Structure formats: C-alpha cells, structure tokens
Amino acid sequence: MALSVTSSSSSTISSTSFFSRLGSSTDSKALQIGYFRNLERSHGFVNLTQRRSLVRPINAEPQRKDSVVPLAATIVAPEVAEKEEEDYDELARGLENASPLEIMDKALEKFGSDIAIAFSGAEDVALIEYAHLTGRPYRVFSLDTGRLNPETYRLFDEVEKHYGIHIEYMFPDAVEVQALVRTKGLFSFYEDGHQECCRVRKVRPLRRALKGLRAWITGQRKDQSPGTRSEVPVVQVDPVFEGLDGGAGSLVKWNPVANVIGNDIWNFLRTMNVPVNSLHSQGYVSIGCEPCTRPVLPGQHEREGRWWWEDAKAKECGLHKGNIKQEDVPNLNGNGVAHDNGAATVADIFNTQNVVNLSRTGIENLAKLDNRQEPWIVVLYAPWCRFCQAMEESYVDLADKLAGSGVKVGKFRADGEQKEFAQSELELGSFPTILFFPKHSSRPIKYPSEKRDVDSLVAFVNALR
C-alpha cells in the first residue's frame, strides 16, 4: 500500500514563527527526518528507501515475533511505569481557541505515524495544507467507494503531485458490494435510504482503516450541519470506532477546523493556492458519491446537496455518528397535540377541507380494500419535516384541483408512534412519502419523483386513475 509521508524543508518552516522548534535543520528533530530524499517539488521529503520501516500501513497488524518464548520461570518482568492517560476533554477545552494550524501540529506531534488525515476530495484538502505547513511527516487516507465523481478522482491525483505524497486508498469489500447490488440494484438508496449503501461502501472500510491507527484527523466543522454537528469538539476520544489497541477509548479523533466557518476555509485555500475539486465551481459545496450529490442553489445550506430526497435529520453517512447531535423530535398524536412527555407542540400542516386526515384505523382499512369506490392519493408526513412543509402549498393546490374529480386526497401523520407501522406496512422510506391507492388494487403505488410541484403530482394521478 502506498504511504502518504511528507515533511517540509527547513526554509519553509522558518517563515512560521509559531514553529520555532523547527528553525534549525541541525537539531535533533531535523536529523530524525534526514533520511528523506527531496522530490522534484520543494514541498517536502519522502523516504524512498526506508519507508516501510518508518511508517506502519494503515491497516497493519502488530509485527509477529517468530522467536521461541522462554519458560515463564526464567523471565524476570521489568518494572514498567504506568502511563498516565490523557484527559482529552481538558485538552479540547485548552485548544478551543487555538488555530487549526496549532491543533494540527499538536495532533501530529502526539501521534506521529499512528495518525492519518481522512481526505474526502472536497474542501478538506485544507487539512493536508495545514499538515504540510507544520513541517512534520503526515499520512493521508481516503475511502474510494467506487461511486465518486470523475472530478474527485482527478483531484486525488493533483493533490498527490502537489504535495509529493501517496494517498492510502481504502476500498469496500467486493463481495459485500456484489451482494448489495445483485440483491437491491445500483440505486436502492433512492428507495430505502442511503444508510445501507454507506455502511458497505464507507463505514466498514473506514473501520478497517482506523484499526491500524491510534488517532485520525477529520474535516468536520460545526457549521456544516447545525442540526447534527453543532457540538463537534476539536479533539475527543472517538465514541464509535476502535483503534490499533482495540476496545473503547483506543482511538482519538481530531477535528482541527471544528470552529472554522466555511468562508474562512475557502479564503485559506485561495490564499495558499491549494488545488480544489472542480465541482466546487459548478455549485457543489458538500461533495460525496456521484449519485448522492448535487449542486445547491444560492441561500441553500451546503448539506442540502447531499441525499436531497431524504429527511433533513438523516443527512449523515455514519462516518461521524458519534458527533451527531441528538435532538428530541416532538412525540405528537394524530391531532398535532404534544403527549405528556412535555415536548413542544408543532403545528399540523396540509390543513384544508379537501384533504382528509386519516387515522391509523382509516389508513389500515384503506390499505386492505381490494375494491375501492374511489382512488386515493395520500401523503405520509411529519409536520416538523421541512421537506413536508415545503410541499404543503402544492399538495393543498392538488387537493383543490382534484375536488369533485372522483379522486380523494388524504394525509397520514407517520412519525412518532406510527413510524414503525408506516415503514413496515406503507413503504415509508423518508418524509414525505406519497402513495396512490388505485380503485381496483389493494397495493399502493409509491410516487417515485422528488418533484413535488402540483403539475407533477397531477400528472402522476392522471397516469394512474
């Protein structure tokens, strides 16, 4: 496996007063990396002859000892001083106002070759630039899901050449991908959510990568997803994944740009003339796999370009599950009134005389009928879902247009206590889900498009009525 190991020349480092410890090329630290040969670029040094001995591969296992173990009776156990555990909560508080450069330097100093930067091919290239500026050797890995944009692959190549590094690519298990695609097709995530595909193509390869490390560095920012990432610390014990030593607490997670806003990241990238993904100039902000990423419009949040067909609360792939802020969703009954748990009331939507409010019994009876007097179109919704809120006007208009046409328009609130039932019996994947119940068939037909304007909905009904 190719390894990403670099360090900057002393002339580059001396221009940064913060790193006075690297000011002389004759000090002990400079001598330690003196084995590295200069590449064509002056960005850093790469060990071409002893790379294997200096840096452990990202998924390496501890080296096996082939020597015969002597009898226990002949062994005198040396006295080993007990290592004091680091308080990373305290360290995070101490670094809360530190610059990304200072946080990156601290991370690389503490973990050396046992830490690596997770690079997705988007604006997190800033992490590589910060690591380069520290003058310390560093490693970079990336998850190649097999579904990335061509522009992202080209950026990987540009970054490797720009910094004189080799990115350590992690790939999904071919057998698992084959089973998923053969069973559910290439685009199953549009039907039943992205979590299963992300688990196979991203989360499991990441888990394998992290088992060869003691720490990793991510580009998470608090402003990327205010609803789920607003409490990301600059450093923490990873609450989800395990590191080289195994077990809870065996992996440390660093987020050097947690407190940096997106505009400042881009100002930094432009100032340093860092290579960036060409998709950014086409309206893409948050970039993932090609089928699950699209440009955003002016004023839209960057995460709205990811998994746009799903509930806004689900816009995470699972790589940073431990940092997702869990918000209480109001537990409401069918009338929009809060239960006794004290949750705040959320106003109901689709309120018009032409939209029938179906109860659990009503939707169950409708689903069981083989011969209905009239066809129905029903939206499964949650009033707190902004995608449901966004289609309220078009759905009300649809109900007005279909009034007296022989097609009934209904709604069923499918969150809270009704969600499990809706998922198992009504094909609920995400909010909103729109179903058409034909006149002479018990099986509902799911509206397949993300276009929820009134004309598209009318065309759907007219095609099936």
Rounded to the nearest integer, the mean pLDDT of the chain is: 77
Phi, psi for 180 (deg, rounded to 5): -65, -50
Rg (CA), the chain: 27
Q: Hey, what CATH topology would domain 88-305 get?
A: Rossmann fold (3.40.50)
Mean of the pLDDT values across residues 33-40?
34
Inter-CA distances, 200 with 203, 211, 274, Å: 6, 17, 31
Please say whether the beta carbons of 20 and 157 come within 8 A: no
Which residue type, as a one-letter code, is found at position 357? N
Question: By three-state DSSP, how is residue 319 classified?
Answer: coil
Give 359-377 pLDDT, tens digit per residue. 999 999 998 887 888 999 9
- H-run or E-run covering 179: helix 174-184
pLDDT band at 452; cut points 50, 70, 90 = confident
pLDDT at residue 410, as a whole number: 96
Per DSSP bridges, beta strands 356-357 and 235-237 are: unpaired
Please list the active-site residues.
Answer: 385, 388
Query: Which residue would you say has higher pLDDT here, 121 or 329?
Result: 121
Alpha carbons 445 and 450: distance in angstroms, whole number: 15
pLDDT at residue 68, as a whole number: 33
Give 64-74 pLDDT, tens digit per residue. 343 333 333 33
pLDDT band at 465; cut points 50, 70, 90 = confident
CA neighbours closer than 13 Å in the CB half-sphere of residue 328:
10
Q: Mind spelling out the 3-state secondary structure of 116-163?
A: EEECCCCCCHHHHHHHHHHCCCCCEEEECCCCECHHHHHHHHHHHHHH
Give 121-150 pLDDT, tens digit per residue. 777 899 999 999 999 999 999 999 999 999
Candidates 194, 174, 170; CA nearest to 184 is 194
Q: Which residues fall within 8 angstroms of residue 177, CB to CB, at 6 or more apart?
A: 146, 200, 201
pLDDT at residue 187, as a whole number: 85
Give 189-204 pLDDT, tens digit per residue. 877 777 788 889 999 9
Phi, psi for 206 (deg, rounded to 5): -65, -40
Residues of the chain with CATH 3.40.30.10: 356-463
> Lowest-confidence range among 96-105, 110-119, 280-289?
280-289
Give CB contacts under 8 A, 24+ apart, made by 87-94. 88/235, 88/236, 88/237, 88/252, 89/233, 89/236, 91/235, 92/233, 92/234, 92/235, 92/236
Query: What does the block give as tokens for 272?
Result: 């340093």
Residues of the chain with CATH 3.40.50.620: 88-305
Candidates 167, 138, 106, 157; CA nearest to 8 is 138
Mean of the pLDDT values across residues 99-109?
96
Would you say residue 290 has pLDDT above 80? yes
Q: What is the dihedral of CA 306, 211, 6, 38, to 10 degrees?
A: -130
Phi, psi for 236 (deg, rounded to 5): -165, 160
CATH of 356-463 given 3.30.465.10, 3.40.50.300, 3.40.30.10, 2.102.10.10? 3.40.30.10
